[in-house]
């Protein structure tokens, strides 16, 4: 039930909603939007089938009629079959790589991007209004524009554009979730709102009331969007390669940040093993881009330059082999799409073949006797036959070793093509087929060129290439400060006081009259300004530590110090009317500890910034005042003659707080 505060304060803070939000039009007929529509439709069908399966399973367990059980079992088999077909269809959509690839005519090996997590609409209007009324004691109707702005921002972030503007939109919403968490989500309590998100690969829905699930899902989409941006770059030029490297490194940083800061995720795509696999996959794609840049910028055909290219290719193969091992782990094996695992295996074999090819080219086509040191560092182990120093000076020995490397390159090429042919999705990717066929034919032509009719010597086994890289990939964590946002619910007041974790009493009206020494109070700190010192002669009901929220009905929660002082000094002879609140923190609650002695009891009264340990004269009165169900203000008259008081919420009066000797 919505209500308004008893005390009406003029909210003079202006509110200017944004002119537009940079989300994509979900109805636009682009390839990516069509893919999202199909994905959303399948997600809904999967959700429906899962509800039907849950209902059928409950009926199967509940019924004792054998005929009904047979009917339900048959229905369950149909539902499970439909679910499997839907998941396979969704897997094909989610693992679709061609939609996100570059439109350039350059021939490059396709990258692996991620689709965005889909989410349902969430209406926060009623929960936020109720909380504003209950906790902040404000008229919730005054914050309808803010609530609408937040809802529009969430709606826009569901369909971000595939560029920097889309990333800024996601980060803006993520930053606003921080303020929403501080304003409306106290510890050990939720708003009763359920956040629904679908797994990015399987489409299985997950639902939680925790805002952390919403934040984690948005952060996952930040990383996924970076993968799409990286995959669509034109890698035929150095500038495009650099942009792709930056995007994949930032994607790895987003997934790594999610892995380190969010735990117990309800969906498999945000689990620890899956995120670890995604981080390694992004690092591998960065390494692949580094190889492409090395081959693009290496214009000379120098012996050592070709050996460096071979070692770069070996490095790419090593990191993809590590990704393949991660994908083979028990918790990830059944989750990762088959097309992804196939693509990773194809790339591991493809780049291993390239490493042997470039080694063979260096040995056969580029004679350089000064490159002995580079040749000694090329192989993981020394090849059989004469020493490498002799091989470098003997053209025939170089030809034999180069031929051995080409033989291994052809074996790897053929294995890559075999794995490629086993996956239906990869077979549909013409550009991948074109790349694999081209490099295989190039190696085969080179091998035929080096093969001789009178060469009856058995080809030796070439050792593997030692991997080495000129640039190690970096994991760039997300920098949320790059998108500056203003708290949408700023008018509620500064977060240092007006947050979900703080509690305060109702707004009180205090009338002060100007005396010889002024109004008798001193302000300090930042807005909202607390009363730091109070004239002992001031008996208007004001206390030290009270926060001034309005002066003569004008809101001053965000006012500057000079503005508040000016308002106080410019009051008329009739005085000034202050609206104040008393903040209740954990150490301002009342705690009573009675240590029995012969005739006295020791009472600990914990009040606002005051701890008074005294021997109470009127023990029974003090006990009644501390724990009386109808008492809102505790007054303890102690033997020291001091008076200590504090206004407390009734439901917190019986809580026990830390004593001088520890927890009571």
- What pLDDT digit, counting tens, does each position of 33-85 carry? 566 667 677 777 887 888 888 888 888 888 888 888 888 888 888 888 888 77
Residue 49 to residue 43: CA distance in whole angstroms: 10
**277/299 Cα distance (integer angstroms):** 35
Query: Coil, helix or strand for 513?
Result: coil
The reported pTM is: 0.75
Q: How far apart are CA 202 and CA 139, in angstroms?
A: 44
The string of DSSP codes covering 189-211 is: ---SPPEEEE-TTT--EEEES-H
Q: What is the 3-state secondary structure (H, E, C) of 99-125?
A: HHCCCCCCCCCCCCCCCCCCECCCCCH
Q: Which of 199-203, 408-412, 438-442 shows the lowest mean pLDDT across its residues? A: 199-203
Which tens digits make up the pLDDT trace of 567-606? 787 776 677 888 888 887 644 433 333 333 333 333 333 3
Three-state DSSP string of 546-570: CEEEEECCEECCCCCHHHHHHHHHC
The single-letter DSSP state of residue 508 is: E
Mean pLDDT of 116-120: 90
Is there a contact between 429 and 110 (Cβ–Cβ < 8 Å)? yes
Non-local (6+) Cβ contacts of 619 within 8 A are 600, 601, 603
CB of 89 closer than 8 Å to CB of 83: no
CA angle at 310 for the pair 308 and 313, rounded to the nearest 5°: 110
Give the C-alpha separation, 338 to 419, whole Å: 11
Per the prediction, the chain carries an average pLDDT of 77
User: Percent of the chain beyond pLDDT 70?
Assistant: 73
Distance between CA 113 and CA 535 in Å, rounded? Answer: 67
23 three-class SS? strand
For residue range 445-492, list pLDDT tens digits in order.
Answer: 998 888 766 565 666 788 889 999 988 999 999 999 999 999 999 999
Compute the distance between CA of residue 664 and CA of residue 653 in angstroms, rounded to an integer.
Answer: 14
CA distances from 119 to 44, 65, 658 (A): 11, 40, 44
In this model, does residue 126 exceed pLDDT 80? yes
pLDDT in tens, 158-174: 989 989 999 999 999 99
| Higher-pLDDT residue of 356, 505 | 356
| CB-based burial label for 456 (10 Å; 0-12, 13-18, 19+) | exposed
């Amino acid at each position: 039930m919505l209500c308004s505060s008893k005390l009406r304060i003029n909210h003079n803070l202006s509110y200017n909603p944004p002119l537009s939000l940079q989300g994509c039009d979900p109805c636009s007929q682009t390839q990516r939007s069509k893919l999202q529509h199909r994905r959303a439709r399948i997600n809904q069908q999967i959700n429906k089938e899962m509800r039907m399966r849950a209902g059928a399973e409950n009926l199967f367990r509940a019924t004792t009629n054998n005929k009904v059980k047979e009917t339900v079992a048959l229905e369950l088999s149909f539902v499970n079959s439909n679910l499997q077909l839907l998941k396979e269809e969704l897997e094909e959509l989610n693992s679709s790589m061609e939609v996100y690839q570059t439109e350039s005519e350059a021939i490059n090996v396709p990258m692996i991007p991620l689709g965005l997590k889909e989410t349902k609409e969430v209406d926060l209007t009623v929960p936020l209004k109720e909380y504003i009324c209950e906790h902040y004691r404000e008229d919730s109707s005054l914050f309808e524009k803010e609530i609408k702005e937040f809802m529009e921002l969430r709606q826009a972030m569901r369909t971000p554009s595939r560029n920097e503007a889309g990333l800024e939109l996601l980060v803006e919403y993520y930053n606003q979730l921080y303020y929403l968490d501080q304003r409306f989500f106290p510890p050990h309590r939720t708003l009763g709102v359920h956040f629904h998100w679908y797994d990015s690969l399987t489409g299985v829905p997950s639902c939680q009331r925790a805002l952390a699930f919403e934040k984690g899902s948005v952060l996952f989409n930040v990383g996924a969007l970076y993968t799409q941006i990286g995959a669509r770059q034109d890698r035929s030029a150095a500038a495009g390669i650099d942009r792709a490297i930056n995007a994949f490194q930032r994607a790895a940083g987003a997934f790594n940040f999610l892995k380190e800061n969010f735990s117990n995720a309800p969906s498999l795509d945000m689990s620890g093993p899956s995120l670890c696999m995604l981080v390694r996959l992004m690092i591998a794609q960065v390494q692949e881009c580094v190889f492409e840049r090395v081959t693009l910028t290496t214009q000379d055909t120098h012996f050592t330059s070709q050996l460096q290219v071979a070692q770069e290719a070996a490095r790419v193969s090593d990191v993809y082999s590590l990704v393949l091992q991660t994908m083979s782990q028990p918790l990830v094996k059944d989750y990762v799409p088959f097309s992804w695992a196939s693509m990773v295996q194809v790339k591991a074999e493809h780049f291993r073949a390239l490493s042997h090819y470039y080694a063979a080219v260096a040995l056969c086509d580029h004679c350089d006797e000064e490159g002995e040191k580079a040749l000694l560092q090329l192989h993981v182990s020394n090849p059989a036959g004469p020493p490498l120093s002799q091989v470098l000076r003997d053209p025939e020995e170089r030809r034999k070793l180069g031929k051995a490397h080409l033989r291994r390159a052809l074996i790897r090429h053929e294995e890559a093509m075999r794995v490629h042919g086993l996956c239906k999705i990869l077979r549909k990717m013409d550009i991948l087929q074109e790349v694999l066929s081209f490099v295989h034919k190039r190696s085969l032509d080179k091998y035929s060129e080096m093969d001789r009719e009178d060469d009856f010597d058995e080809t030796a086994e070439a050792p593997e290439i030692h991997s080495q890289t000129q640039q190690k990939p970096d994991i760039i964590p997300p920098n949320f400060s790059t998108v500056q946002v203003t708290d949408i619910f700023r008018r509620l007041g500064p977060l240092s006081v007006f947050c979900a974790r703080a509690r305060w009493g109702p707004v009180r009206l205090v009338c002060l009259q100007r005396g010889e020494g002024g109004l008798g109070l001193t302000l300090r700190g930042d807005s909202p300004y607390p009363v730091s010192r109070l004239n002992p002669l001031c008996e208007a009901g004001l206390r030290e530590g009270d926060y001034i929220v309005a002066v003569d009905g004008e809101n001053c929660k965000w006012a500057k110090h000079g503005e508040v002082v000016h308002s106080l000094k410019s009051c008329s002879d009739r005085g000034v009317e202050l609206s104040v609140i008393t903040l209740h923190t954990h150490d301002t609650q009342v705690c009573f500890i009675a240590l029995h002695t012969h005739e006295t009891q020791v009472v600990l009264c914990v009040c606002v910034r005051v701890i008074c340990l005294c021997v109470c004269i009127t023990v029974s009165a003090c006990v009644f005042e501390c724990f009386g169900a109808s008492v809102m203000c505790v007054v303890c008259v102690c033997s020291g003659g001091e008076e200590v008081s504090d206004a407390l919420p009734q439901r917190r009066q019986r809580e026990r707080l830390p004593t001088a000797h520890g927890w009571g």
